[in-house]
């Protein structure tokens, strides 16, 4: 009997230890970014583009990367959502449970999910060369869209598979066609869509490898889809490797901004998900 309680205590301590270790990791990452980034932080950093070249210029900030990231992530999240919703709807509402196509499709999306983003980047690069394109905002958007579609599909599909059959029957029995059930389905899986969007945006904004070959890097803010665009992860990567201290500071400040964006997104996500769950049936 005593052994039983000792065991209970031991495992409780182990579990608590694991939880605290992970928390400590998060804390120390945030601390190191804050301590290095905060001192480098200034309004110039987020309101100006780098002066005299991002690698050597000591002036200015990284507005180019902030705007570039917003363009890339915003556009690809929208595109990804527009492509994934029909996929999830088709898999769950049109195809039967035992459908072979649905089975194969789901495996394929799982495989896509696991492919590292550098491979997407290389793939995008090859295609761009084939079509004679240079690094551009459009290239970045396309590759990031490809990168996040599996995340979208997988997390929405998980929710859509739990979709209660009775709701569908109720909708059909009012005379709705399968396509007309989409309004009902979307409302029920709305929290899932919100979570999926957040996961995807979080992944997209932090991805360096996908945009490296495709969107490229530049000092200026792109004014058209065919121009190259800077992004935050690459702003960290390129500027950190510079020997000049002012440039390195810019990298830390960029890392701070990137981390803050991701933090705000995750906190916002919780709130938004709860709001979207308003109509959901248990």
Partner 1 sequence: MKHLFTAMSLPAEERKPAAVGKLVTMFRPDHKFERGEGESELVVENLNVHIKQQHILKEISLTIPDKKITCIIGPSGCGKSTLLKTFNRLIDSVEGVRVSGRVLLNGEDIVGSGGAEIINLRRKMGLISQKPCPLPMSIFDNVAYGCRVHGIRNRRKLRMIVRHYLEAAGLWEEVKERLNTPAARLSIGQQQRLCLARSLAVEPHFILADEATSALDPISSKTIEELFIALKQHYSIVMVTHTLRQALRVADHVVFMYLGQVIEAGPADQVFNNPTNKLTQKYLSGIFS
Residue 221 carries which DSSP code? -
What is the C-alpha to C-alpha distance for residues 110 and 23, in angstroms, rounded to an integer?
29
CB of 114 to partner 1, least distance (A): 31
- Helix (H) or strand (E) run with residue 176 in it: none
What is the C-alpha to C-alpha distance for residues 167 and 14, in angstroms, rounded to an integer?
44
- Among 4, 21, 43, 98, contact with partner 1 (rule: CB under 8 A): 98
Q: Does 100 bind partner 1 (CB under 8 A)?
A: no
CB of 281 to partner 1, least distance (A): 5
- Among 177, 223, 224, 243, contact with partner 1 (rule: CB under 8 A): 177
Provide the β-strand partners of residue 59: 51
Nearer to partner 1, 187 or 203 (CB): 187
CB of 123 to partner 1, least distance (A): 38
List Cα–Cα distances, 44 to 50, 51, 62, 199, 218, in angstroms.
9, 11, 8, 30, 18
Q: Does 188 bind partner 1 (CB under 8 A)?
A: yes
Nearest-Å Rg of the Cα atoms of the chain is: 23
Of the listed pieces 24-32, 94-102, 225-233, 265-273, which binds partner 1 according to CB under 8 A? Answer: 94-102
- Among 176, 221, 265, 272, contact with partner 1 (rule: CB under 8 A): 176
- Among 22, 56, 174, 263, contact with partner 1 (rule: CB under 8 A): 174
Closest CA to 106 of 27, 160, 38: 160
Q: Does 7 bind partner 1 (CB under 8 A)?
A: no
Considering only residues 17 through 76, tell me which ones interact with partner 1, judged by CB under 8 A.
none
Nearer to partner 1, 173 or 224 (CB): 173
Cβ contacts of 233 within 8 Å, gap of 6 or more: 69, 205, 206, 207, 208, 211, 258
CB of 185 to partner 1, least distance (A): 9
What is the C-alpha to C-alpha distance for residues 199 and 112, in angstroms, rounded to an integer?
16
Of the listed pieces 55-63, 175-183, 207-215, 221-229, which binds partner 1 according to CB under 8 A? Answer: 175-183
List Cβ<8 Å contacts ≥24 apart for 130-136: 134/216, 134/226, 134/228, 135/213, 135/214, 135/215, 135/216, 135/228, 136/214, 136/215, 136/216, 136/222, 136/225, 136/226, 136/227, 136/228, 136/229
Of the listed pieces 59-67, 76-84, 102-110, 181-189, which binds partner 1 according to CB under 8 A? Answer: 181-189
What is the C-alpha to C-alpha distance for residues 173 and 179, in angstroms, rounded to an integer?
14
- Helix (H) or strand (E) run with residue 51 in it: none
Q: Does 96 bind partner 1 (CB under 8 A)?
A: yes
CB of 154 to partner 1, least distance (A): 22
Nearer to partner 1, 135 or 171 (CB): 171
Total number of residues that touch partner 1 (CB under 8 A)? 25
Q: Does 167 bind partner 1 (CB under 8 A)?
A: yes
CB of 108 to partner 1, least distance (A): 23
- Binding residues for partner 1 (CB under 8 A): 96-98, 164, 166-177, 180, 184, 187-188, 278-282
């Amino acid at each position: 009997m005593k052994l039983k309680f000792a065991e209970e205590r031991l495992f409780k301590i182990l579990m608590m230890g694991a939880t605290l270790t992970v928390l400590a990791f998060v804390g120390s990452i945030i601390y190191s970014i804050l301590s290095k980034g905060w001192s480098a932080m200034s309004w110039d950093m987020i309101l100006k583009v780098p002066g005299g070249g991002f690698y050597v210029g000591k002036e200015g900030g990284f507005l180019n990367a902030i705007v570039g990231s917003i363009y890339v992530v915003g556009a690809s999240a929208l595109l990804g959502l527009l492509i994934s919703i029909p996929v999830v709807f088709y898999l769950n509402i049109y195809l039967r449970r035992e459908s072979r196509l649905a089975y194969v499709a789901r495996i394929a999306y799982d495989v896509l999910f696991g492919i590292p983003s550098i491979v997407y980047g290389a793939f995008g690069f090859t295609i761009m060369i084939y079509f004679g394109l240079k690094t551009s905002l459009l290239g970045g958007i396309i590759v990031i869209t490809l990168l996040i579609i599996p995340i979208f599909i997988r997390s929405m599909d998980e929710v859509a598979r739990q979709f209660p059959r009775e709701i569908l029957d109720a909708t059909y029995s009012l005379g709705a066609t399968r396509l007309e059930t989409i309004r009902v389905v979307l409302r029920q899986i709305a929290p899932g869509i919100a979570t999926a969007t957040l996961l995807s945006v979080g992944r997209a904004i932090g991805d360096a490898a996908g945009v490296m070959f495709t969107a490229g890097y530049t000092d200026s803010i792109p004014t058209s889809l065919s121009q190259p665009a800077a992004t935050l992860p690459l702003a960290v990567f390129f500027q950190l490797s510079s020997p000049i201290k002012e440039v390195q500071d810019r990298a830390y400040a960029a890392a701070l901004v990137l981390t803050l964006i991701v933090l705000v997104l995750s906190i916002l996500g919780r709130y938004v998900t709860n709001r979207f769950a308003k109509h959901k049936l248990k």
